[in-house]
Amino acid sequence: MTDTTTLTEEAYAERTRLAGLLAELTPEQWAHPSLCASWRVREVVAHMTAPFHTSPLRMLAGMARARFNYDRYAAPAARRDTARMSDAELLRIVQANLRTPWPPSGGGPEAGLGHDVIHGLDITEPLGLPGPPTQRIALVLAGSDARSLKYFGVDLAGRRLVATDAEVSVGDGEPLQLSAREILRVITGRRALTDRE
């Protein structure tokens, strides 16, 4: 198990990396579709930064409206946030929170790193921008388990996904070799195993 200091510093490094990329985006790129269904890049950024610009009371009210289902709450919240904040404001929130700890209520350092890496790929992959370092992705994969697969609605059908570029695997059964990035996209429901080629 990776220590919390390493996870925290990797999350800060990923946030800093993404901030640099976001600072160079054109308005068209901010409006580009992401890997998250029906979310543009700006909605993803609003969602990623929600803990830094949403008060606990506002989040609680939103969760109550969504009958305390976070997924039902997150999409409308991201759209409301992008309606009231400009791309420049969202960027400033990212830049102002490069080293803000991920809240314990949100799962702590491990969840924070996963959140930044997964949603970072949601932004960078469609735009053809550089992704995170492989070893940072591997840290996220190392924290994956049956519960996270269930959350994303992924069934590996008795296969063990083995990274070709890192010492990490996910699942059990017949080994299938993929890059760490491809594995992360598969286990988060961004890519099906059938279109891995």
pLDDT digits (tens, 9 = 90+) for 147-175: 888 888 899 989 999 999 999 999 999 99
Residues 34-46 pLDDT 10s: 999 889 999 999 9
Task: Show the CA angle centred on residue 152, arms to residues 151 and 154, nearest 5°.
Answer: 110
User: Domains in the chain, please, with CATH?
Assistant: 4-132 (1.20.120), 143-195 (no CATH)
In contact, 91 and 48? CB cutoff 8 Å: no
Residue 197 pLDDT level (bands cut at 50, 70, 90): very low
Residues 84-112 pLDDT 10s: 999 999 999 999 999 999 887 677 889 89
- Token readout for 2 is 């990776």
SS3 174: strand
Cβ burial 82-99 (10 Å sphere, 16+ → b, else e): beebebeebbebbeebee
* Closest of 145, 140, 195, 143 to residue 171, by C-alpha: 145
Q: What pLDDT sits at residue 1?
A: 57
Q: What pLDDT sits at residue 71?
A: 76
What is the 8-class DSSP label of residue 106? G
CA distance 83 to 113: 27
What is the rounded radius of gyration, in angstroms, for the C-alpha atoms of the chain? 17
